[in-house]
Structure 1
């Protein structure tokens, strides 16, 4: 038996701790750790970003991590078991990174396709969001790692996220935005919560007594630890009084020892408030001790087959087949008549769009591109099908990362990085003091440390070098943006100057860096060129002296080509092909924490590319990678359409699994795809206007709105096709005063094994107030062999099935009367219907 982890005696410690020590516990020690009190043997707790993978404690040169499909993709599996297993793998990998707390999952609502972190959340529907979050949380905490559910609550946009006041009715707040958190607390009880940056009805959530005390602590009886988002604290007294236990990161901005102690001594802050907040931190320490992580743990990756298999399974199940005219899919791995040719075209074909941007982004241990996945299937089939490729259109917002195409002087793939105390050209520069081989040219040095640098010493220099061999002869564009200064040299010739010429831009986290400066030079195919970037750290930055620690530099290379030239080359490739796979979408440069998308359109010339390809080849399948909907003006011109999300490490393999039928697609849309952004219910009220955003759609979010007003979407919530067919039959509904039980037979009526998702919706027959047409209340996924029939059983409590928030009584109300049970395989395909009845009206609070 493993030893029982030690536990702190919290009440004894509350007596033993000095008031100064208690105050010190209420803010982080640094970016990733809570404060330790060695005198009383109170250890520090380590946290790590983790919405779709466990980064660990480093941005620069971090230990590689396994990247999971993005949140909206995981929710599209509609598979509670897979979500649980994903959480368990996250928990295992957190311990390998020495992290006691995972900062995730994220279960905000996908209120708009434009939300910068929509990809990181799960769904437009609060029930699906809540079930996805609860199963991820269960899995994480099964490994004795703490899950920190975020962002509590209404962090549904990035525009002015720290300042915006979300004006919202209590009903919408309860029924839509708080509901996922309520479900997760009820079913999985995450041991930590992270507050949102924004205000709700005039008060920042991190200091809202209504949200943190009245709802969370008093009504929901939550006694876990509540921490701020990073730099999401706006006061000392108000946040402590509200029960924001932990300010992150450290060192503190608002809870400094002297002013906080003064506030206690002058009775501005009650001693009981300090004690209660300190208790919550000690409870977090006790929960963290259960993981048994050694204090001297060395961060390590998890390059196991078991991890890759689960990432692939989750990715396979996340992919949604949305169009399959003429059964163009699945593709065959072998030619039926002689030699066949498949053209793989598009900006995402040879790019690995593993995740969206921001805190969800990490150093993935490996990435399979769609082209690589497709190529592997052709090889399996004996190479009787040939592949051709063309880029077709550019997607990059800045010039692309070249870490995977540069190599060092010794022949190793990557970029050689050498760090110096003195700038280039200094007569006494001396030898470098650190050296690394980096896998990326997106180099963020905010947490770069070296024993050769004194504490607080931020001034240093670095040379990043690699050898580049062009695939084509032509004019090439080089670019660099920085938080610091940077110059790019090709064979010692200066090509880009972001040192003497700097313009404010939005590069780097929170947009503190420069615009990308560019320069051009002619390169010859096959010739080796030495690329050197000379970088000076953040103190050399000419635009902002309050930069982030060491700063950083992003640099890239691309052959110069007009959109017309790129499309023309792709058209010639498409003309010669029997079938075309177009891999399009967006990327973490366009969908990221820190900003919202300006439009729902795919940026650049992708739409023109699709139009041009479909004009010369009728057998076109489009694979789209995005975390939320994009505009698809050409959808009627293509025969196949697959929504592949951001797929993590295995994205290329999972796309190929579905395209070639090694996995029969079973995903369903976790959000509605509108025909145009103007159809989205939040269209008139998205983004901050003078510091305010009105949640004017109220409870009519997503399919609730489209159904209520009769607007036909492009693809409805819960929709997804299969390579087989299913029939739902024999609906049996039984109920009592507490619960509704639903049984339905599911038959695979086709010739291929596959999985169907049974979706249970409830509708009130004669509501006394305006309510949605129907609301999702449960779902179940069933795998069936061809011709097989199984019974799916779903259960929901009467109060959850029927209640709405009554703003007069400030309680949930389950109203007497008749309700419809609606069962189908998408929100717009209800095939079975029955009724149940509630005998009397009741009111309730709590979980």
Structure 2
């Protein structure tokens, strides 16, 4: 089957219909040419599928910051293969991940969803993620192209940034994943230098497609395409979601009127069909000439017809110039998602401090497990990164599951602004306008969510309301708080009595606000311990154009004696245990898509809790359960600090492994952690008159910290293990660097050997050093390991008005355990 021949069989209407969604998540099928629907789904820690619902559970891996903290490309590649397996299980062809935006400021609301402050580390981890997903026959979609590094006014903000800064910093990870063979890319909401990204011809067409040779598909972020001609000519290929929007019939009319050339549409269709071939959504039609085949070279009419590999080929490695169809069912060895989630979590955990070797815990008989994250950890950030796993192992469950240590639990304080959904099994009842049931589906708790499609057995055309029904038996007598979260018309009944009947309105202009930061209405009810009550929450809603948006919940908080009493209880519990472990966490109101953070403090009274527990028990371990940096005013008063990021569904199991030494904390910081917010060189993310200017140029992250002469709490690349290492020798051949390291401790261990490159001459406007390579090695006690890295050409280059220029002279390569901990150095000489 020749793509050009297929395009030639399509009329203009058929072509333009292929370029926008039939619904929230899929492009249309065209059976007469063998094209099935192309289904897309959010990631990046799991695959939601077309139904964003607890009824369709997903494996939940650790957050992208955690993936980057492993500094292990092969482990990330394995995670990508698992995501591809999940995507195939759910009928998904295109995974909308990974996020390649940078940690420009720790206030960025989606910091947890990005990999690192460093473009090189982001690019290498991102490339491994892309390769792993695409090896499984599923397209990865790196996003958000480009400079979408904060959330405030993200739909309208203009980012002003110099071309050299774009090239060397913000575009660099995208260039790397294009070289790795990404099959799709997502265009961002924001504007860059005055042009909205979905219309940005210079970046999307001239640079991405022409200069870099990207032969994949550019899809808009959802609702980011707001024009017809400008987006089509600007290099966008698919506008999502559909069927409404600026394309479809409007694009067809623009072509017929001569406002958009039909050749532009042909190239867009070519890219859609090429992607469909790659993911197995385009198949032979009986009687048609030829069959779907792998593309063997660069894009264009001359390279879209190659020999047929056969009707059911084995999948091969993904590449930028090759194509494979999705693996046949049963053709892969299944990946154990639970085991991999646990392994990735442990390998990402970053030991920041371990005075006196408190960790791993040995000879411990009793543990006081304290803090809001002990029983209810934050396993993921909010927004499009959310999935619903079928299990979550809390730290409390993980430690109690060992069975060889007594675990005494005290929450201490609750920093959440909103109560969590009522934790009792419920059911969602779908109703028509007359109140007749259209179907029922079980819920794990009092949260209902279907975004995109309703359950298959529910007639969407008849939908008039969705009702959560459940029975709650309180354990305490008193005034219970109920929190209705969602936007629209609601009625709440408790034991048949209507306690609310009205509207809850959603402020703000971001259309995602309804599920990213939905409004709340609070109710109270006097309940008696042991006496069950029936709860019903009805939400008036309807599906439109086949698309559903159901997102609401009923939160609950039982009567509480207050933080003063619960903190005092936690302190007493800590004083009587061999070791105190405090699980401190951020909340959904702090880290999520749709808004930025306002400060770096742990929410609520957690700092006070940690300080008082540490006074009561000098053997205190603080576990920081956060996706981005938090301030630690108690740092010098606790002997051990372990960062677990957002650790995914196996959080507690992995934590028990690391605390007790069954696994080593393998993480190294992918971003610098400040001691004080005032020290952060690049902090503000608030637009001024609709604009954010990247005045700092190339200097973000550790690059900025070094040039500013400031000392953070913990530098980029920092992380401790359970053994010690010596750096023995370094040798350079050309731009190849070989290092010998020895495990000098008494335990097996893993070391991340890091390579930083300094130019021959220092320029205060340029970084003093940049990360140019890294290698993770494992060694037994006393074992010496030799590792070699190849420093990339780009590490020796700078962007000028004439393009890339190699800086000649003697560059210094420093090898060590972090940017602030060099152990060896050597000279690398290059010619211009």
TM-score, with normalisation over the residues of structure 1?
A: 0.89
Query: Equivalent residues in 2 for 1:718-729 (5 A)?
Result: 718-729=717-728
Structure 2 Cα separation of the partners of residues 695 and 101 of structure 1: 32
Matched, 1:223 2:215: yes
2:376 is matched with which residue: 347, 351, 354?
Answer: 351
1:374 is matched with which residue: 385, 391, 399?
Answer: 399
Structure 1 Cα separation of the partners of residues 46 and 256 of structure 2: 44
Which shifted more, 745-754 or 267-276? Answer: 267-276
2:280 is aligned to 289
2:251 is aligned to 260
Query: Shift in Å at residue 43 of structure 1?
Result: 2.1
2:270 is matched with which residue: 279, 292, 303?
Answer: 279
Matched, 1:136 2:129: yes
Query: Shift in Å at residue 547 of structure 1?
Result: 15
CA contact (8 A) 1:537 1:551 kept: no
Query: Shift in Å at residue 501 of structure 1?
Result: 6.0
Matched, 1:802 2:796: yes
Structure 2 Cα separation of the partners of residues 54 and 139 of structure 1: 14
1:291/1:548 CA distance change after superposition, 3 Å = closer
Task: Give per-residue Cα distances to partners, 1:377-402, cap 9 Å, x unaligned.
Answer: 2x0x2xxx322111111132311122
Query: Equivalent residues in 2 for 1:360-759 (5 A)?
Result: 360-377=385-402, 379=403, 381=404, 385-403=405-423, 406=424, 414-421=425-432, 429=435, 432-447=437-452, 449=454, 456-470=461-475, 472-495=476-499, 497=500, 499-500=501-502, 502=504, 504=506, 509-511=512-514, 515-525=519-529, 527-538=530-541, 549-561=548-560, 562-683=562-683, 685-735=684-734, 740-759=735-754
Task: Give per-residue Cα distances to partners, 1:304-330, cap 9 Å, x unaligned.
Answer: 882222111111100000011111111
1:532/1:223 CA distance change after superposition, 3 Å = same
Structure 1 Cα separation of the partners of residues 545 and 541 of structure 2: 8
Aligned residues: 789
Unaligned stretches of 5+ residues in structure 2: 284-310, 313-324
Structure 2 Cα separation of the partners of residues 817 and 457 of structure 1: 72
CA contact (8 A) 2:537 2:554 kept: no
Structure 1 Cα separation of the partners of residues 627 and 346 of structure 2: 16
2:261 is aligned to 270
CA contact (8 A) 2:461 2:546 kept: no
Structure 2 Cα separation of the partners of residues 726 and 245 of structure 1: 51
Query: Shift in Å at residue 58 of structure 1?
Result: 0.3
2:307 is aligned to none
CA contact (8 A) 1:56 1:62 kept: no
Question: Which contiguous aligned blocks of 4+ residues in structure 1 show a shift greater than 6 angstroms?
Answer: 290-300, 302-305, 450-453, 545-548
CA contact (8 A) 1:682 1:695 kept: no
Q: What SS does the corresponding residue of 1:460 show, helix, strand or coil?
A: strand
Structure 2 Cα separation of the partners of residues 421 and 184 of structure 1: 47
Matched, 1:182 2:175: yes
Q: What SS does the corresponding residue of 2:32 show, helix, strand or coil?
A: helix
Which shifted more, 655-664 or 570-579? Answer: 570-579
CA contact (8 A) 1:766 1:818 kept: no
1:100/1:461 CA distance change after superposition, 3 Å = closer
Structure 1 Cα separation of the partners of residues 328 and 485 of structure 2: 33
TM-score, with normalisation over the residues of structure 2?
A: 0.90
Structure 2 Cα separation of the partners of residues 374 and 508 of structure 1: 41
Query: Shift in Å at residue 550 of structure 1?
Result: 4.4
1:508/1:465 CA distance change after superposition, 3 Å = farther
CA contact (8 A) 1:144 1:291 kept: no
1:357/1:744 CA distance change after superposition, 3 Å = same
1:87 is aligned to 80
Which shifted more, 560-569 or 482-491? Answer: 482-491
Structure 2 Cα separation of the partners of residues 238 and 640 of structure 1: 55
Query: Shift in Å at residue 453 of structure 1?
Result: 6.4
Structure 2 Cα separation of the partners of residues 128 and 706 of structure 1: 17
Task: Give per-residue Cα distances to partners, 1:428-481, cap 9 Å, x unaligned.
Answer: x55x331121013232244453678665545224242123332x4443212112
Structure 1 Cα separation of the partners of residues 541 and 489 of structure 2: 8
CA contact (8 A) 1:97 1:299 kept: no
2:42 is aligned to 49
Structure 2 Cα separation of the partners of residues 304 and 531 of structure 1: 43
CA contact (8 A) 1:584 1:623 kept: yes
CA contact (8 A) 1:682 1:696 kept: no
1:410 is aligned to none
Task: Give per-residue Cα distances to partners, 1:509-562, cap 9 Å, x unaligned.
Answer: 42478632222334444x04224123122379xxxx999944432211112332
CA contact (8 A) 1:96 1:299 kept: no
Q: What SS does the corresponding residue of 1:500 show, helix, strand or coil?
A: strand
Structure 1 Cα separation of the partners of residues 366 and 33 of structure 2: 70
